[in-house]
Structure 1
Amino acid sequence: MLNWNDVIRFADTGNPAPERTVRKTDAEWRAQLSAEAYHVTRNKGTERPFSSGMCNLFEPGLYSCVCCGTLLFDASEKFESGTGWPSFTQPVTPNAIAYHADRSHGMTRVETTCNTCEAHLGHVFPDGPAPSGLRYCMNAVALQKVTVELETATFGGGCFWCTEAMFRELAGVHSAVSGYSGGQVDNPNYRQVCNGSTGHAEVIQVLFDPTVISYRDLLEIHLETHDPTTLNRQGADKGTQYRSVIFTHDATQKQVAAEVLKALQPEFNAPIVTEIADFTQFYQAEDYHQDYYNLNEGAGYCQIVISPKLRKFREKFRAKLTK
């Protein structure tokens, strides 16, 4: 979960890497957008407060960038701020938003833009509700409601550098974020988790479109791309932080997980020891862990461990990869 310190750090030292980038000419943006949307997103304009019904729209769903369609916010993080602009406590993924110091109009604020296409969205302030304390004050015209309902899955199967690299390539997966789950310490860091003292597992949190890829598909891929028969170990990585685990977000996921483990057991020569546990909290790992393989493909661990796993994964699940 992002907090104000994260926001300031991004604004001061650089933003997280986006999943993709979209760049168009000014003429192309003008042709695509309404006059108001163009003014706000491309010229850093501000819509009139209380001018949109989106302020009072709280049903479940997702909001994407009006310019490029990148998912930005989940309605579950939306709240009534009384400011006249739609307000959220968190972006849908840590790298969806970019942050920039804004010293216009005699004030020092933090501007938020779409990290994919640089569209101006609004500003973020440290006066939101707990636990993040953030208020993403957005221009409604910069957002569009997404009709498809995305779902979340959380898996652990050894080093999250490996699992994230694979799941990012699946069609229907909108994001795969590395982090920690299943422990007893709030806001753990990598060193604490590696010591095995916090109870957390290295996991990835996956946001996916169930109309493209099912939760059952994701489970089968998860179980067939690591060794679910070794307790608290994957290869040379040893410890409870590397345990095979499925953190379920509801009763349906728990039932499907149990069914998949039972169905796949005959494919393994030893008993599956994968834990099925209720999801409680996900803590995003440090920035340098995100998209690690793509940013460090030449590193020794990537060449020796991840690249071979990716080749096998791509061959076995070719039909489920993004084209």
Structure 2
Amino acid sequence: MKKLIIFFVFALLFNCHNTAQVNPKQQAVINAEPVEIPLKNGKAKAYFASGCFWCVEAIYESVKGVEESISGYSGGHSKNPTYDASNTGRTGHAEAVEIIYDPNIVSFETLVDVYFASQNVTQINGQGNDRGSQYRSIIFYQNEIQKQIILKKKEALAKKLGVKIAAEVYPFQKFWVAEDYHQNYERLHPNNSYIRNVSIPRLNRFKAKFPKELLKSQEH
């Protein structure tokens, strides 16, 4: 009986601790109404987080119809996040990319397919050895149509693979552009050890299994 009482006391304390860790500012982000970015010069924008943004930026720029991929931070509650601040895990932000694309060439649905095809869909809080909430997988939606596209594809993939898909689904709020030295990192630093051993292999794994007609002809 004594052991049972001790168990319930610890369970209660653990549950209280978990409740105490819920950040109301982060919950407000998750529950917010999505912000929709209007077309500009016929180009649309989409937002994804999937581990290191150096990797994700290069992956999306290999897709036809993607004009540019910009590294930054999104999904958190703090303003003006920096690389150092986001790495603490306290800002709520994840490393993310802003995809500028031509919707007449590539659809949002295809961009979501690219997202799932370019990562370990079951890994929580990271990709590969990049671990922490700043590397977690998030797909951002800007309206109800995008939300339903994401949820249906996520559900179908979970059913097909028989696994739980780690990607979170957030209403888009704001994208903070990362420091200049992070932009186009894979292209500008091809001999960097991380790029050679992590980014390029991840890119090539994606390209090997994605339909060739949807990819640009550049080689790595």
Q: After TM superposition, is the score higher than 0.5?
A: yes
Aligned residues: 179
Instruction: Work out which of the residue numbers 203, 209, 228 in structure 1 matches 2:102.
Output: 209
What is the aligned partner in structure 2 of residue 172 from structure 1?
65
Gap regions ≥5 residues in structure 2: 1-37
Offset at 1:61?
5.2
| Equivalence for 2:200 | 307
CA distance in 2, matches of 1:264, 1:150: 28
Q: Unpaired runs of 5+ in structure 1?
A: 1-59, 63-145
Instruction: Trace 1:48-197 onto structure 2 (pairs within 5 A).
Output: 62=40, 146=41, 149-197=42-90
1:242 corresponds to which of 135, 149, 161: 135
Q: Is the 8 A contact 1:152 1:249 kept in 2?
A: no
Aligned equivalents of 1:181, 1:245: Cα separation in 2: 9
Partner of 1:259: 152
**Aligned letter for 2:50?**
G
Give deviations 1:183-239, integer Å, cap 9, x for gaps. 111111100001111000100010111221111111011011111212112111111
d(CA) in 2 for partners of 1:246, 1:274: 7
Whether contact under 8 Å (1:229, 1:270) holds in the other structure is yes
Task: Specify the structure having the higher radius of gyration (Cα).
Answer: 1
1:228 to 104, 118, 121: 121
Q: Give, in angstroms, the shift of residue 242 of structure 1.
A: 0.8
- TM-score, scaled to structure 2: 0.77
- Change over 3 Å in CA distance of 1:152–1:61 after alignment to 2: closer
Distance in 2 (CA, whole Å) between partners of 1:182 and 1:256 is: 19
Between the aligned residues of both structures, percent identity stands at 38
How far 1:293 moved relative to its partner?
0.4
Residues 61 and 164 of structure 1: is their aligned pair in 2 closer, same or farther, counting only changes over 3 Å? closer
Seen in structure 2, the aligned counterparts of structure 1 residues 250 and 294 have a Cα distance that, compared at 3 Å, is same
Q: Distance in 2 between matches of 1:288 and 1:298?
A: 15
Larger RCO, structures 1/2 (Cα 8 Å, 6+ apart): 2
Q: Name the SS for the 1:154 alignment partner.
A: strand
Q: 1:322 aligns with which of 212, 216, 219?
A: 216
The structure that is strand-richer by fraction is 1
Q: Are 1:295 and 2:188 matched, yes or no?
A: yes
Match of 1:218 among 103, 111, 116: 111
Contact 2:124 2:137 in 1 (8 A): yes
* TM superposition shift of 1:269: 4.5
Q: 2:165 aligns with which of 272, 277, 300?
A: 272
Local SS of the residue matching 2:113: helix
Give per-residue Cα distances to partners, 1:244-301, cap 9 Å, x unaligned: 1101111111111111111212343521021111000100000010000011110110
Aligned letter for 2:177? Q
Larger relative helix fraction: 2
Report deviation, 1:316.
Answer: 2.0
Partners of 2:203 and 2:165 in 1: CA distance: 22
Query: What is the rounded CA distance, in whole Å, between the counterparts of 2:161 and 2:190 in structure 1?
Result: 31
Q: Give how far 1:302 is off.
A: 0.7
